[in-house]
Structure 1
């Protein structure tokens, strides 16, 4: 039976190797956009970084936190608007960690928590508005959602900088209904514009008639001008109405010439 022979050289080599491993594990390098949340025997100690830091093994533990802006896509949400229209809406949010201590201690997973909060807030805010407001006032809705998210996530050390609604998807029935509504609106505007034009034209005709009535010869000149315009079109037959007053005045002038 063989026995292990104690060797001082092997013992000290093992000790030196373990010491080197411990020393190497103490040294950490954090990038400019990273911070390290240090816990001492399970209790929060401080936030360190960026750069070269020392973490004592077995006594201290470190959790890395990324401070860069996170772009998170909010999955499509089924929303019923205030006017009872069912739509699917998705959005994108931009946020970053401004307090690493709160982001690690106050919430288990700040990324998942922010995602779930964004989904519920999106449904809640859009459900308070009508469909026309969703389609026309996206900037206002973006600001409202961003303000609510920023306020509620402040306890987690999160700063929501921007929210953008990307798509508002409608079913085919609503698309056809909106198209009919838009067509009716354009028809209404066309009728209003036509009526407004008729009103302005009638006012102008009344004013012109009043001016022509002030001078009897003015209407004769107008008729002659109209005849000139018609003759330029080279029509074979011209039917031109003449007022009785004009014919009687011409007859009187001819009779005076004969006398």
Structure 2
């Protein structure tokens, strides 16, 4: 997920502008001191702008301190310690969609069918999704495809043709393991 850096860029620009103005005022007295003021302003601007983070309304930031989980942050403004804290994941907590296909699946009466499906899912525990599963988006997709194949394998072709509501309701009852941090529905 893309990070919102506009506020950090504004802070960087303001600090750099103040440092440049101070360096300009001191330039008449000593060029050496004005260079020190300007370089100090650049370092301070980098430090402060990398400290201030903003998470959008629909995202959570997973913050690690020296490689260990520290907190979930967001939405809104929060502060990290540069070089000590790290944000490896920005988790989208909105309802997400994934389309997939259960190709050449046999029904209960051994009729091969191809089924397309759309999965609506949402991360309910961003910490578990980020830290307990290597690639949670792929895991949700593969688990959904497997569940769809399993339901098709237990369904007669005539039941499939009568209505998708039965299959959809069966799939809604199937949840991924709690450790994945995601919940889904067909």
Counterpart in the other structure of 2:42: 17
1:80-110 per-position Cα deviation (integer Å, ceiling 9, x unaligned) = 1111111111111111111110110011121
Instruction: Name 1:26's counterpart in structure 2.
Output: 51
1:112-134 per-residue CA deviation (whole Å, 9 max, x = no partner) reads: 11111111111111111210111
Following superposition, the deviation at residue 72 of structure 1 comes to 1.0
Alignment root-mean-square deviation, CA: 1.7
More helix by share: 1
Could you tell me which residue of structure 1 aligns to residue 123 of structure 2?
97
Per the TM alignment, residue 10 of structure 1 is displaced from its structure 2 partner at its CA by 2.6
Q: In structure 1, list runs of 5 or more residues that go unmatched.
A: 1-6, 164-259
Q: Where does residue 122 of structure 1 map in the other structure?
A: 148
Deviations 1:201-220 (A, max 9, x none): xxxxxxxxxxxxxxxxxxxx
Q: Note the 1:1-259 alignment, pairs <5 A.
A: 7-62=32-87, 63-148=89-174, 150=175, 152-160=176-184, 162-163=185-186
Q: Is the contact made by 1:77 and 1:119 (CA closer than 8 Å) also made in structure 2?
A: no
Please give the TM-score of this superposition, normalised by the length of structure 1.
0.56
Q: Which has the higher contact order (CA 8 A, sep 6+)?
A: 2
Native 8 Å contact 1:125 1:145 kept in 2? yes
Runs of 4+ in 1 over 4 A off after TM superposition: none
> What secondary structure is seen at the aligned counterpart in 1 of 2:38?
helix
More strand by share: 2
Looking at structure 1, the residues matched to 37 and 136 of structure 2 have their Cα atoms a distance apart, in angstroms, of 46
